[in-house]
Structure formats: structure tokens, C-alpha cells
């Protein structure tokens, strides 16, 4: 945290006691749901499990549980959605690291999936994780079919051409030319923000949130998602590889357009802090069936901007 923002970041809420139990639930769900490595095709299954299990901050799963908690949804109702968003996220990381994309060898402190296995297996593991996530959601019979259909549609939109995949395409395109801040915001909102938004929305949809509350949470999550990627850019510049578990300096090496390359570290951090404050204000718009349990969402926003990894 740089000196100009450290004052305001100092006291922010950046964790919640429920996060570790939620991470443990997620791990159990992933382990039980992913195809066993002993089953054919073994290498594909092993790569899927390698990319998903035992790693990452699990922020998107926590977003699902945190949003559900606002409406007092039981954790068990949210397990499959939490696993689905983490499978999609793991898929996105596998493909993001491929030589044809960011060409990174290290992920979550381990060799990237294409290094631990092969490029072909990594591509297929990503494909399989993406579709498997939808299989998991579709089979979630604990959630009524109308809500389930909304959840599936929400996740599909978030990761398609107008969401994550589109954002990744724009990110690659921006390696070869100068983009302005408005365009970069679009890239970040799509490549990273869309899945974080979908994670919050999935939790709220599973819990039966009203349209008005869904809107407030959408605005909250858009701000958190953008702040999260801004801080990812900052950490790529000033974090160290051991703490990050991925190679720092990768963006500079790949000539990426980032908040740091456009604004510099200090202004990028200030933007993230402004977005955090905006996110908190969005939560004040929650009403009706929303209880007062926004502590975990608040902590999630705080964590997005204060994290060191
Ligand atoms: C990294 O996401 C990729 C981005 C979208 C910025 P995370 O920082 O959430 O990665 P893990 O899951 O903790 O490894
Ligand atoms: C990744 O952004 C976005 C997605 C994976 C969709 P980055 O390329 O900045 O993520 P890291 O820094 O490699 O984790
Ligand atoms: Mg990338
Ligand atoms: Mg990358
Ligand atoms: Mg990055």
C-alpha cells in the first residue's frame, strides 16, 4: 500500500471468519464432484483436478457464499454454484497461461497446467472444466428450475464473447496498440469483472433475491471486479513471485495495457480505493428480504484492494 492511500486502507475490513469454513466446503465439493483421476481419460481428469484443487484464494467461491449469506441462504444451497465458478475460473487461468496467450509457467506456486502436463492436455482440461461447471449447475436439484436456468444463463453470458472470453480477446489485442483508460476499463470489466459479478449474482439468485437487490449487488460486484483486476495489475508490477505464486513482471514482459502502464502505481491504487468505497455504498441500497449480513461482502471488497497476493 503506498503512503497516500495507506491511511484509508489501514482500517478496512478484509476478511471474515466464515471464509476458511467456506474454502473447506469448496475443496470438499470440488474433490467430490470432479471426475476421479483413476477414471479414463485419466490424464485429462488429473489435469482438471490439478488446476482446481488445493490452490488459489477462492475469492469467487467466497463471493457466491457471501452473496447468499445476505439473504440467509444455507451454505449447502450454494456449494455447487461455488464449485462451478471456481471451475470456470480455473479453466480461464489454464488458458490464460498458455504460450499463445500470456505464456506463463508458474501458477498458484506450481508449474502451470501446460507445463505439468502438455499444452494439448491443458487446452482440453480448460474446455472440460468449462462445460463441467455447467453440468454441475444444471444438476443442482436443490435449486428450483427457474432460478437454476437464470444461474446457467448468467454464468454463460459472463464468460462468453461479451464477458470473459471477449475481454481476453481485447486484452490480447491491446498488446499491440495504445488503449485509453475507458477502453482498459472495458477490458478489465469483461476479462475479470464479469465472472466476479456472476459469482455474486449466482449466490443471490440461488437465495431468491429480488430484482432490486440483484441490481444493487451487480453494481457492488462490478466495482469489486474492476478493483480486483486493477490490484492484480499493481501486484504484477510490485509484488514478488514467491508471494504471488505467479511470475511478477509478466504484464510488462508481454507489453500488456494495464492500469499501471496507463496511470502509474499510485493512481491505480487510488482508483481501486475509490471503487471499494463505491462498492460499499452500493450495499446500502439493499432492501426488503436482505438482512443486515453484508459483513462478508464488505470484507471481500476490502480484500480485493488490500491483498498482497
Ligand atoms: C487471477 O485471479 C486472475 C485474474 C482474473 C486477475 P486470482 O487472483 O483470483 O487467482 P487465484 O484463484 O487466487 O489463484
Ligand atoms: C487474467 O488476467 C484474466 C483471466 C484469466 C480471465 P491476467 O492475465 O492479468 O491474470 P494473471 O495475472 O495471469 O493471473
Ligand atoms: Mg491475461
Ligand atoms: Mg495472465
Ligand atoms: Mg495479471
Model pLDDT for residues 111-126, shown as the tens digit of each residue: 999 999 999 999 999 9
- Which atom in ligand 1 lies closest to the alpha carbon of residue 89? 12
Given this model, what pLDDT does residue 306 score? Answer: 95
CA distance 69 to 81: 14
C-alpha to C-alpha distances, 111 to 91, 94, 97, 241, nearest whole angstrom: 15, 11, 10, 13
Q: For 210-237, what is the mean pLDDT?
A: 97
- Ligand 4 centroid to 61 CA: how many Å? 20
Most ligand 1 atoms within 8 A of CB, residue of 26, 89, 164 to mutate: 89
Given this model, what pLDDT does residue 287 score? Answer: 85
Q: Is the pLDDT of residue 6 over 60?
A: no
Q: Going by CA atoms, what residue is nearest to atom 10 of ligand 1? A: 56
- Ligand 2 centroid to 78 CA: how many Å? 25
Q: Going by CA atoms, what residue is nearest to atom 3 of ligand 1? A: 93
- Give, as one character, the DSSP assignment of residue 75: G
* Backbone torsions φ then ψ of 106, nearest 5 degrees: -120, 135
Tell me, using a 6 A CB cutoff, whether residue 213 lines ligand 2: no
Residue 235: band (very low, low, confident or very high) from pLDDT cuts 50, 70, 90 = very high
pTM (2 d.p.): 0.96
Q: Which ligand is nearest to the CA of 234?
A: 5
Q: For 35-51, what is the mean pLDDT?
A: 98
Q: Is the pLDDT of residue 274 over 90?
A: yes
For the segment 152-208, what is each residue's pLDDT rounded down to a tens digit? 999 999 999 999 999 999 999 999 999 999 999 999 999 999 999 999 999 999 999
* Backbone torsions φ then ψ of 184, nearest 5 degrees: -65, -40
- Give, as one character, the DSSP assignment of residue 192: I
Q: What is the DSSP string of 193-219?
A: IHHHHHHHHHHHHHTT--HHHHHHHHH
Q: Is the pLDDT of residue 98 over 50?
A: yes
Q: Is the pLDDT of residue 148 over 90?
A: yes
Q: Going by CA atoms, what residue is nearest to atom 11 of ligand 1? A: 56
Helix (H) or strand (E) holding 110: strand 110-111
Place of cell 466464515: 18
- Ligand 1 centroid to 288 CA: how many Å? 33
- Contact in structure between 158 and 197 (CB atoms under 8 Å): yes
Tell me, using a 6 A CB cutoff, whether residue 246 lines ligand 2: yes
Q: Is the dihedral of CA 236, 239, 240, 246 positive or negative?
A: negative
Q: For 74-93, what is the mean pLDDT?
A: 98
User: For residue 236, how far is the Cα from the chain centroid?
Assistant: 16
C-alpha to C-alpha distances, 279 to 18, 203, 223, 225, nearest whole angstrom: 20, 17, 6, 10
Tell me, using a 6 A CB cutoff, whether residue 92 lines ligand 2: yes
CA distance 2 to 296: 25
Amino acid at each position: 500500500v503506498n503512503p497516500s492511500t495507506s491511511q484509508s486502507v489501514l482500517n478496512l475490513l478484509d476478511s471474515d471468519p466464515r471464509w476458511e469454513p467456506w474454502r473447506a466446503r469448496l475443496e470438499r465439493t470440488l474433490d467430490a464432484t470432479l471426475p476421479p483421476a483413476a477414471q479414463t481419460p485419466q490424464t485429462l481428469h488429473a489435469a482438471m483436478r490439478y488446476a482446481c484443487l488445493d490452490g488459489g484464494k477462492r475469492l469467487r467461491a467466497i463471493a457466491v457464499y457471501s452473496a447468499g449469506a445476505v439473504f440467509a441462504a444455507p451454505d449447502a444451497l450454494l456449494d455447487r454454484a461455488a464449485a462451478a465458478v471456481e471451475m470456470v475460473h480455473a479453466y480461464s487461468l489454464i488458458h490464460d497461461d498458455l504460450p499463445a496467450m500470456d505464456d506463463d509457467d508458474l501458477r498458484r506456486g506450481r508449474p502451470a497446467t501446460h507445463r505439468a502436463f502438455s499444452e494439448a492436455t491443458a487446452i482440453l482440461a480448460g474446455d472440460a472444466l468449462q462445460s463441467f461447471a455447467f453440468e454441475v449447475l444444471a444438476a443442482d436439484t436443490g435449486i428450483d428450475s427457474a432460478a437454476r436456468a437464470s444461474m446457467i444463463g448468467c454464468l454463460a453470458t459472463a464468460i462468453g464473447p461479451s464477458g470473459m472470453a471477449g475481454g481476453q480477446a481485447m486484452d490480447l489485442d491491446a498488446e499491440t496498440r495504445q488503449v485509453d483508460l475507458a477502453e482498459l476499463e472495458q477490458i478489465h470489466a469483461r476479462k475479470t469483472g464479469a465472472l466476479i459479478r456472476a459469482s455474486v449474482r449466482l449466490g443471490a439468485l440461488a437465495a431468491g433475491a429480488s430484482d432490486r437487490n440483484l441490481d444493487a449487488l451487480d453494481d457492488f460486484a462490478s466495482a469489486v471486479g474492476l478493483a480486483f483486476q486493477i490490484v492484480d495489475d499493481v501486484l504484477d508490477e510490485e509484488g514478488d513471485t514467491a508471494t504471488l505464486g505467479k511470475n511478477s513482471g509478466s504484464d510488462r514482459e508481454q507489453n500488456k495495457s494495464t492500469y499501471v502502464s496507463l496511470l502509474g502505481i499510485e493512481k491505480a491504487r487510488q482508483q481501486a480505493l475509490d471503487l471499494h468505497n463505491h462498492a460499499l455504498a452500493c450495499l446500502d441500497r439493499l432492501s426488503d428480504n436482505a438482512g443486515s449480513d453484508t459483513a462478508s461482502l464488505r470484507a471481500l471488497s476490502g480484500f480485493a484492494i488490500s491483498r498482497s497476493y
